[in-house]
Structure 1
Amino acid sequence: MQILGCDFSSSPTARKPIVIARGQLCMEKQCVQLNGLLRFATLDGWSEWLAAAQHGPWIGGFDLPFGLPRELVQSLGWPADWAACMEHYAALSRPQIREQFKAFCDARPAGRKFAHRATDIPAGASPSMKWVNPPVAYMLHAGLPRLRAAGVHLPGLQAEPAQPAARVGLEAYPGMLARSVLGRRSYKSDAAAHQNPERALARRELVQALEQGLPMLGLRLLPDASQRAALVEDASGDALDAVLCLLQAAWAAMRHAEGDARYGLPAAMDALEGWIVTVPMPLPQGANPS
């Protein structure tokens, strides 16, 4: 089963491309063979590759949000249906997005400027309405319409297709897996001045942990020697983030192969906001975990 993991950029360049990790899931051995890394310097090149029939079928994890906070959508008076909301959002320009989101934040008290999706807090992810550091709002704006245009099926947000989907996309977030190994230690930086031996050591430790298998996923990564070296040597961390998304997609593929039509996404997820795959849904307040 072909699996993809994507480290996404809303404004890719040759120096800062979109990175796709390709792999093969072996369920019997509970491992993912890393087959290679692809880099795309343009959004059009990325979306054309995704849509090409010869590259499928696949299940992919994409490091970009698939929805906006319900609180924000309701406050702005946007459509509460996910598809209609995303079409409205795609029709806006980035300056319009920034203007409306900034006005929303400016009207709120300190410490509660941004609205969050239900999945953001347990994942430790930035709110999907954030337009800077990181600009995940622009990642949603640039990436999701192209996934939809490429015919990628998005479980939990779209009705299950009559025939098995050739391309399946899930929202992934590599930071959660990285923190499960490294805590708050940094393993990457785009700034050359911060690409130091400490971060290189953290990347090496993270790759070793992935090869040994993360308990929360029950999967091992199988890179060859050159791939292992490339993951450690990429100081930006983009290749390693793509691999982390690859493993999240593989976990979802296993759930689906075992009969879960939602690819491991919680049944109670908000179908307007979306959900990050592999993030457990918090228990209701006061619920007994047993």
Structure 2
Amino acid sequence: MTIESGFAHTNGAAAQATASRPYYTPVGNEETVFKAAYRQGLSIVLKGPTGCGKTRFVEAMAHDLGRPLITVACHDDLTTADLVGRYLLRGDETVWVDGPLTRAVRDGAICYLDEVVEARQDTTVVLHPLADYRRQLPIERLGVTLDAAPGFGLVMSYNPGYQSVLKDLKDSTRQRMVAIEFGFPAPEVEEAIIAHEAGVDAGTAAELVRFGQAIRRLETGGLREVASTRVLIAAGRLIAEGLPVAVAAEVAVAGPLTDDVAVGRGLRELIEVYLGESAPE
């Protein structure tokens, strides 16, 4: 039997040594808490709305700590084998191929499980001995238990305001984690982020933030999500590309947020009020 590592790192340690730090602006003490928890070998869960910067934050922390980062986008078809590994046939040979979690454990990387509650609960149970003082990964198919290599870190994220009660972290998982709460940045911070990421001027960034805040204040059931920093950046990038402001806001913000005709009409009215242009019908 041959054992192979079948997943590449998102960022290798050597590459990180020369790469620039991913752009991230702290909004509180989240960087200090993350680094303290990591140094103590504690697992971390990031809670906050979609598009508020959780993934970029983890990328910046991995860069600061000089660790490779392996990111797994969780979904309801994710199995334990997807995380840990499986046997595959290669010609006449049976080959064990490590999953991303096993690769991180062996190599001392940070493993980031994005939207972890989307994974089946029987899958996330495998994380328990890794997330507590044992820092071990049992691999039943191999009959071995791996001790996490120095530098290994386990980070999860989810959006508690979006997932239903049926998709939530088990209490036994929660109590193994240090929780860091995320929200949308203060207006001046969000404006700076949008100006930097989208390449627009400060005035345009400020208008987009005011528009986004107006959507976040809406009380309606027709919105799939509120306007995240991510969608405001997307609108800014389209504006930087030369699209009219109203068109950019319509296709990057209003369109993705709702399929409801009445709510969509209300968002187009907000575009006119806050961005000074009528959105196309």
TM bucket, shorter chain? under 0.3
TM-score by length of 2: 0.27
TM-score by length of 1: 0.26
Structure of greater Rg: 2
> Going by fraction, where is helix more abundant, 1 or 2?
2
The answer to which structure, 1 or 2, has the higher relative contact order (CA under 8 A, 6+ apart) is 1
> Going by fraction, where is strand more abundant, 1 or 2?
2
